[in-house]
Amino acid sequence: MAVLILAGCGGKSAVNEGATGVKSATVVPAADAPTLVVVKLKEQGVTEAEAALVSDMLRSEIAKTGKYRVIEREQMERIMAEKAIAMTDLSTSSGEAGVAKLLNARFMGVGSFGKLMGNYVLSFRVIDVETGLMKGAGTAEGETIGEVKKGIAKIAVSL
């Protein structure tokens, strides 16, 4: 499902399985791994909560690869609040890029999540904040968000 591959720096990861049987990944990005901020996906025919959930899934899956130091959503919101930047300022690509620069992120992940002809569709791109060039992209679709989640994992690995 991923269309273009982004070269990145590898990190180390380990999978832990707790008493509940839930697997979690411990990831240590490489010291020189670039920083990536994933802004909330634009919703297209889905709820804001669904788009935010898929944005969080993307952050988690990308972080598990260890190729990037991913800025957590809460950290991004805290810094934006400190700088008095409203979430509405993210409605344009220049606003998104400004936030990425403010957070010292080299890369910014943007995209949309919606429904098209009964299927959920995710379109995601990674953009180099310094050059404005797209460094990687991917799409995922499925009848359920669970099916889209499988595509998200493939996108994350390809970046």
Domain ranges of the chain: 2-10+34-158
pTM: 0.72
| CATH number of this structure's domain 2-10+34-158, picked from the four choices 3.80.30.20, 1.10.287.610, 3.40.50.10610, 3.40.50.150 | 3.40.50.10610
Q: Which stretches of 29-106 are assigned E, i.e. beta strand?
A: 35-38, 42-44, 69-71
At residue 55, the pLDDT reads: 93
Condensed to tens digits (0 to 9), the pLDDT of residues 70-125 reads 988 777 777 667 666 555 555 455 556 666 776 778 899 999 999 999 999 999 99
Q: With a cut of 60, say whether residue 135 has pLDDT above it.
A: yes
